[in-house]
Amino acid sequence: MFIFGSGHKTIRIPINNVPPCGTCRRDSQRVIAIDYDYSHIFWLFKGLKNKVVVGRCEACGTSVALDKSHEKDVYRALGRNPIPFMDRYGALVLIAIVAAWVAFVFAIPCAVNPTSDLCTRP
């Protein structure tokens, strides 16, 4: 039985040493917010969708969506991608597990079913 579902996460990362906000002109706390949806099987094998990365001023609430190049710069400044590994690549891990199992079954059929005709032939 497969347990399917979906969910939503928001990851907030405070950033420092940034220029004042363009709207309110204050040196307030700024954050990068990563909003994304995911689908899952067994709550472990997740697939990411609808990811949006925004820079947000905490004082006035102004949000600016970041494009892919700025997003990569933010990840490089952090030293890592803040989205958990299984949220990003969980579906690929599940596909790899299934493919490895199928390869094992076809490569070593006698280990799976030792009473098959293929294994009992002299």
pLDDT (tens digit per residue) in 4-24 = 888 899 999 888 777 777 778
User: For residue 20, is it within any domain?
Assistant: yes
When divided into structural domains, the chain yields a total of 1
User: For residue 21, is it within any domain?
Assistant: yes
User: For residue 110, is it within any domain?
Assistant: no
The model's pTM is 0.74
Q: In the structure, what pLDDT confidence band is assigned to residue 94 with cuts at 50, 70 and 90? A: very high
pLDDT at residue 74 tops 80? yes
Q: Which domain holds residue 26?
A: 4-88
| Helix, strand, coil percentages in the chain from 3-state DSSP, rounded to 5 | 35, 35, 35
In angstroms, the CA 84 to CA 107 distance is 34
Q: Are 90 and 5 spatial neighbours (Cβ–Cβ below 8 Å)?
A: no
